[in-house]
Amino acid sequence: MVTREVLAIGVDLGGTKVEVARVDSAGRVHQRVRRPTDVRDGPAAIEAEIVAVVAELQGTASSRPVGVGVGVAGQIDPHHGIVRFAPNLGWRNVPFQEDLSQALGLPVVVTNDVRAATWGEWLHGAGQGCDDLICLFVGTGIGGGVVSGGRVLTGCSNTAGELGHITVDLNGPQCTCGNGGCLEALAGGWAIARQARESISADPSAGAFLLKMADGQLEMITAKIVFQSSRAGDPLTKQLVGRVEEALIAGATSLVNAFNPCRLILGGGVIEGMPEMVDRIARGVQQRALFAAREPLEVLRARLGSDAGVIGAATLAIRTFAEEEDRGE
């Protein structure tokens, strides 16, 4: 077998943008293109956009990719890559894998976006060389992926890893999922902003600083502004961030006791906005998890940032198709 550079195309498809990158088998991004998406145009328009971008990337490239991996924020049928439900895109039962493969003339594998990011962090990020790990991505929402015994867990209907929807406070606030007290309802970006707004409404004088940081507009408050206020020493937001950390420690402890990972990898916008949380969560888990579970544990910050999605999707494509191609040659 001649050693040659194996490359794949990784696609990270969200409700507001699509990112497409050429990624090699070492997880290096060679080129990338990011485009806004207009979900109102429907799947065919997004498919056409991806086809155009892939052609653009391939125009200057010397080697043909082994295939295309796509991460979509939604529920995916693993056998045929059908997007069962993607609320941000407004899609239901879209046979995206088949459609895109026909349009591109390349093999395509479709997976969930967080699952794709887990593949990325596992094989090319903070999870390298480790066979038992959890990626917990704390952004506007909270999602995750689990690698156990060297395999990414998929579950019964390919939805394993909904780690934002573990209950950490059975008397806690309502979550967007319909349940109450989910980790996401206490520590997701949207929940942090909601709690901040509620705190200001409940005590306007204590919330004055935070409100000022948002130009006096309650509805402009985001998790990012909460972190800025906290860092500036504002007592109300420091308390709020403390509660977010408590929720993340409780959730992380649950996951460590249930899954017994060697590494817990923390990523996503909330962690990126407040990276000092990683050490505080690590200390909290070391105090609370069972000895046997916490003893081998490392808590690490994710390493690929927002590249995890395209790198992971491309990596999955290489794992899925490069071997087939080798057999066929």
Binding-site member from 179, 228, 286, 320 for a second copy (CB under 8 A):
179
Binding-site member from 75, 229, 230, 315 for a second copy (CB under 8 A):
75
Contact 104, 233 (CB under 8 A): no
Per-residue x/- marks for a second copy, 259-298, CB under 8 A?
xxxx-------------------------xxx-xx-xxx-
Q: Looking at residues 76 to 95 of the shown chain, list those that interact with a second copy (rule: CB under 8 A).
A: 84-85
Residue 102 structure tokens? 């026909």
Residue 308 structure tokens? 């995890």
Per-residue x/- marks for a second copy, 134-163, CB under 8 A?
------------x-xx-x-xxxxxxxxxxx
The partner residues of 143 in beta bridges, in order of sequence, read 137
Residue (of 271, 276, 279, 312) closest to 298 by Cα position:
279
Question: Judged by CB, which is closer to a second copy: 192, or 255?
Answer: 255
Binding-site member from 108, 250, 271, 300 for a second copy (CB under 8 A):
250
Q: Packing angle between helix 308-317 and helix 113-124, nearest 10 degrees?
A: 80
Binding-site member from 32, 35, 165, 238 for a second copy (CB under 8 A):
165
Segment contacting a second copy (CB under 8 A): 95-103, 212-220, 230-238, 247-255?
Answer: 247-255
How many residues touch a second copy under the rule CB under 8 A: the total is 51
Residue 52 structure tokens? 């155009």
Question: Judged by CB, which is closer to a second copy: 72, or 311?
Answer: 72
Question: Judged by CB, which is closer to a second copy: 78, or 305?
Answer: 78
For the chain, what is the radius of gyration of the CA atoms?
21
Q: How far is CA 121 from CA 4, 27, 73, 153, in A?
A: 24, 10, 17, 15
Q: How far is the CB of 116 from a second copy (least distance, A)?
A: 17
Q: Is 27 left (phi over 0), alpha (psi -120 to 50) or beta?
A: left
Residue (of 228, 248, 314) closest to 12 by Cα position:
314
Binding-site member from 140, 246, 280, 319 for a second copy (CB under 8 A):
246
- Residue 190, exposed/middle/buried by CB under 10 A (0-12, 13-18, 19+)? middle
Per CB under 8 A, 36 contacts a second copy: no
Distance separating alpha carbons of residues 289 and 277, to the nearest angstrom: 17
Give me the residues that bind a second copy (CB under 8 A), please. 75, 84-85, 132, 146, 148-149, 151, 153-163, 165-171, 177-179, 181, 246-247, 250-251, 253-255, 257-262, 288-290, 292-293, 295-297
